[in-house]
Every structure is written in structure tokens, then in C-alpha cells.
């Protein structure tokens, strides 16, 4: 297996979290490459960034509507991308133990949209930002905060070991980062911190509403389906003309059994997300335990 096949296999087996991180890292590398080329050859390369970051000017946004999403995959520096991806990785891993990858993608996009809206409204309505020149929002922080706060809302007492600080409850970490954003608003990057708070708010609201049976990210389903079509390669048709029927029947039967099992697992996980683990019956708990051992 050469490096291309290994890369393709890794992509096909990657979960939603890994693909989100991969896309963020890829765009950061492209940004770095464009900036380096611009510096070496003295050519303008800022167009790549300007067409993907979110502008405060609503007229400029009118002809770049995609930026309300794309800015959340861009970063301005190595520390920026590393800090965001670390928090996204750890909070995302916990999030995926309670919810599906589809809901994580929906929440990531919701965090980006809400963060951008708070940023735009702040810069266009608040007196503190009057007279401000051109300004852009860049970074996944709003989406990351949405994921972190959503996970902390779902499992606030989840213990997280944080380096030399020992075990901390997840909601302590989320609350600390929210307070840190509030404190830093008058000090530096006020628009960015307001966007972070927008993401945190939607993360909290998402879980609160989900527990009531309302999925506020459901309207994004068509968009995420479209994205899934881009991410998931189409299966190739087999060139083999001769098929052993017995083997095919067994394969079809096994595939059908796996599909039924996955459907049942998804139903149980949805029940946990809405009503908690204690709401499961003994039969459902036993089934989930056995399924976990078989995977």
C-alpha cells in the first residue's frame, strides 16, 4: 500500500471530528503557502484569505455569503490553529460519545453562523466600534466554543485530567474560557471575543433544546448532506462478471444484520442524548454493552 492509498484509507475511515480538524489544518497550510509565495515573489496573495474570511461590512458580505461558514476554517497563525484544534479535539471526542457525527457537523456550522452574526451586529450597532475601518473575522473559535460548551452542558460533571492541574469538571473549563472571553473584550480583539461568546451561547442553547426534543440544527441537514456528498467518495462498480451466489447471500445477510444493529444503536444513543443513560431499560443497557464489546 503506497502513501496515496494510505491517505485515501485514512480519509475514508476518519470520523467527522478528524475531518473537521484536517480541513482546518489544510487551509492553514494553504494560507501559509500563499503568504510565503507573496513574500518571495512580491505579488499580492491576500485575495485567498479575503475571499474566505468574514467581513464586518454587510455590503461586502452580500457578495461573499459563503464567508459566514468558511471563516471558521481559517486561522491567522500557528498558535491560533493549534489552540483551537486542541480544544476541538478533546471536546469533540467527548461530544461524539453522546451524539452522532452529523450533529457535531451541524453544531460546528451553527457555532460559526452565530459567532459571525454576533460579530457583525456588534461592529455595526455598538458605539464602541463606530469609525472602525475594515475588519474581518477569522478562526474556528466560535465553533470550538460551541462544541465545548455543548459538551459541558450535556455532561457538566465529566472529569477531565488537565496536565498539572489534575482532574477538573468539564463545566469548570468551559466556564473559565467564557469568563476569559468576557474579561478580554475591552483589552484586545473585542470582535473575536464577542464571536466566541456567540458560539458558546449557541452551544448551550443547542443542548438545552435537544433535551426538550427540539433540534435547532435540523434546518442545516440539507447543507450537511451536500457536504457529506463531497466528503464521502462514491463506491466503484465492480468489473467482475462472475459472482458466487452463496458468498454474496452471506455478505448481504451480514451487511443487513450490521445495518439493523447500527440503527438500534443510534436509537439508543438518541434516547441517551434526550433523557440520559438512566432512562434506558435493562434490555437496552445490555444490548449497548454487548455492542460495545463487539465493536
pLDDT for position 130: 82
pLDDT for position 142: 97
| pLDDT tier, 238 (very low <50, low <70, confident <90, very high otherwise) | very low
Between 141 and 248, the higher pLDDT residue: 141
Global pTM value: 0.76
pLDDT, average across residues 72-78: 93
Q: What is the pLDDT of residues 130-173, one digit of tens each?
A: 877 788 999 999 999 999 999 999 999 988 887 777 788 999 99
Distance of CA 228 to the CA centre of its chain: 13
- Residue 51 has φ and ψ, to the nearest 5°, of -85, 0
Q: Where are the domains of the chain?
A: 15-231, 260-294
Biggest distance spanned by C-alpha atoms of the chain: 75
Q: Spell out the long-range contacts of 185-188 with Cβ–Cβ below 8 A and sequence spacing 24 or more.
A: none
Q: What is the mean pLDDT of the chain?
A: 83
Q: What is the pLDDT of residues 28-37, one digit of tens each?
A: 999 999 888 8
Q: What is the CATH number of domain 15-231?
A: 1.20.1540.10
| Beta strands in the chain, from DSSP E residues, in sequence order | 54-55, 136-137, 159-161, 167-169
Q: Is the pLDDT of residue 1 over 70?
A: no
Amino acid at each position: 500500500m503506497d502513501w496515496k492509498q494510505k491517505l485515501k484509507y485514512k480519509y475514508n475511515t476518519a470520523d467527522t471530528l478528524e475531518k473537521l480538524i484536517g480541513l482546518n489544518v489544510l487551509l492553514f497550510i494553504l494560507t501559509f503557502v500563499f503568504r510565503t509565495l507573496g513574500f518571495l515573489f512580491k505579488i499580492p496573495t491576500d485575495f485567498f484569505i479575503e475571499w474566505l474570511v468574514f467581513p464586518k461590512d454587510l455590503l461586502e458580505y452580500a457578495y461573499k455569503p459563503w464567508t459566514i461558514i468558511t471563516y471558521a476554517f481559517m486561522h491567522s497563525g500557528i498558535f491560533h490553529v493549534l489552540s483551537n484544534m486542541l480544544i476541538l479535539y478533546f471536546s469533540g471526542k467527548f461530544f461524539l460519545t453522546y451524539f452522532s457525527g452529523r450533529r457535531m457537523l451541524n453544531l460546528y456550522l451553527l457555532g460559526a453562523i452565530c459567532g459571525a452574526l454576533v460579530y457583525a451586529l456588534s461592529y455595526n450597532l455598538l458605539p464602541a466600534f463606530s469609525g472602525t475601518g475594515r475588519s474581518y473575522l477569522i478562526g474556528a473559535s466560535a465553533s470550538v466554543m460551541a462544541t465545548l460548551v455543548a459538551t459541558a452542558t450535556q455532561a457538566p460533571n465529566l472529569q477531565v485530567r488537565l496536565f498539572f492541574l489534575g482532574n477538573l469538571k468539564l463545566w469548570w473549563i468551559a466556564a473559565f474560557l467564557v469568563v476569559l472571553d468576557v474579561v478580554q473584550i475591552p483589552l484586545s480583539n473585542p470582535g473575536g471575543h464577542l464571536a466566541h461568546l456567540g458560539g458558546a451561547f449557541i452551544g448551550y442553547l443547542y443542548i438545552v433544546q435537544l433535551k426538550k426534543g427540539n433540534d435547532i440544527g435540523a434546518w442545516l441537514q440539507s447543507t450537511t448532506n451536500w457536504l457529506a456528498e463531497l466528503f464521502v467518495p462514491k463506491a466503484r462498480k465492480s468489473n467482475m462478471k462472475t459472482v458466487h451466489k452463496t458468498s454474496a447471500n452471506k455478505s448481504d445477510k451480514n451487511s443487513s444484520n450490521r445495518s439493523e444493529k447500527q440503527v438500534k444503536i443510534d436509537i439508543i444513543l438518541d434516547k441517551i442524548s434526550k433523557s440520559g443513560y438512566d432512562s434506558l431499560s435493562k434490555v437496552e443497557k445490555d444490548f449497548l454493552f454487548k455492542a460495545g464489546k463487539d465493536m
